[in-house]
Amino acid sequence: MKFHLKNFNDEGVVINDDTIHSTVLSDSDGYGSSNSKTIYRSVIRWTMKKNGHEDKPWPPDWFEKSVEYLSSCIL
Amino acid sequence: MKKKLIHIALTFALMGPSLQVFSQEKPVRIDLSTIKTELRTSAISLGISYLKSLDSLFTLQDIHQAEKNTLFQVTPEFDVLTGTSDAFSSVSARLSGIYMLFGDTLIDGVLTPNTARGFQTFPFSAGFETNNKFNVLNGIVEAGWVPWYQTEGNRKTPGWLKHTKFGLFVQAGYKFGIDTTGITTIGGETDQSFEAPDHAILRTKGSFGIDTQSLFELSGVGVGISGNADGWYDFLNNRVYYSVQGKIRFYLTGDKNRFFDFKYQKGSGAPNFNEGDQFGMGLTLMF
């Protein structure tokens, strides 16, 4: 997660377990579904599936929560 | 500061009834603008962009396909831009998704898409676009190409270029002749497109945008500029339409979720392709 957040981080936000997703990602930095919020979610789910993990439902409030919170929900 | 607080309070009061209609527990983006139009009429523009994840809309979370170096995901989307008097207006509801092509890499032994390098995205959507009088209704299928070159890992890409975005799209559909409202539209609500009712639609669209984020701080408020330009070529009527929008943006918090805009727009874009202009100010809050 932190690897991908770093690659979408265009404002120098400190990336660690406490980073809030909405401080880095946005749903308006691209066109339509091509935005960092959708792409981030898609690539994390791809990673889960391709590494043999269960593709668990994401919590509705993940965008406003930290990396650690999301990890605890989907890992 | 007091004036700003009053303005915010007023805008909340005005948008209250509309919010009830779209009340959801999912992320909601609210764009509320007081707009001065070309007809010099004060107007309130309320835009709600609502994006709901598959997890909550569908019983099953998955319309997500993971293949070697590709993925496919579908998301429903609903956008409203409406206003009083002659302000620009549009409504769209669609199922949108993304197809991605990327390289992969190992991070701590875990295979994952290599977002440190550029990758290709192909957004698509199918749905309807109309205005807030519902006297125009277009059924539209859109597919496009949006290269993702902004990744921070692309060290050879100039910094300013990472604040831009670019996309090419093809749009096809049908314009339904549903106008039984008897409402005479004025100003920014007027349908000025050459697309005739009960006829097919076939356009290509090019989009370019720039968002500098916060360039500098003014009394603790981040200031940046944002601009978008869209151009359409209407194959069936041999016409060109365009929409250009520029904003000076004041970030009220550091997390980009609350900002205040002074903006100017020339051309409404789809579905009306109104050629008028409007300018004003707006507050956006994302919950």
- Does the distance separating the beta carbons of B61 and A33 come in below 8 Å? no
DSSP letter assigned to residue A55: -
Q: What's residue B23's pLDDT?
A: 31
* Angstrom distances, CA of residue A25 to CA of A29, A62, A70, B128: 8, 12, 14, 27
Show Cβ contacts of residue B160 under 8 Å, excluding neighbours closer than 6 positions. Answer: none
Average pLDDT, chain B: 74
Q: What's residue B54's pLDDT?
A: 40
- Does the distance separating the beta carbons of A51 and B111 come in below 8 Å? yes
Q: What's residue B17's pLDDT?
A: 33
Bridge pairing between strands B70-83 and B64-67: antiparallel
With 60 as the cut, is the pLDDT of residue B126 above it?
yes
When scoring A34, A64, A70 by the number of chain B Cβ atoms within 10 A, the one with the most, hence best to mutate, is: A34
Q: What's residue B287's pLDDT?
A: 59
User: Residue A47, SS3?
Assistant: helix
At A41-51, the pLDDT tens digits run: 999 999 999 99
Show Cβ contacts of residue B181 under 8 Å, excluding neighbours closer than 6 positions. Answer: B133, B134, B135
Contact B105, B112 (CB under 8 A): yes
- Out of A10, A33, A43, name the one closest to residue B75 (CB): A33
The model's pTM is: 0.74
At B183-215, the pLDDT tens digits run: 666 666 677 788 888 889 899 999 999 988 778
Cis status, amide bond into A59, omega within 30 of 0: no
The interface pTM score, or ipTM, of the predicted complex is: 0.94
User: Residue B125, SS3?
Assistant: strand
Using CA coordinates, name the residue in chain A closest to B79: A32
Q: What's residue B18's pLDDT?
A: 32
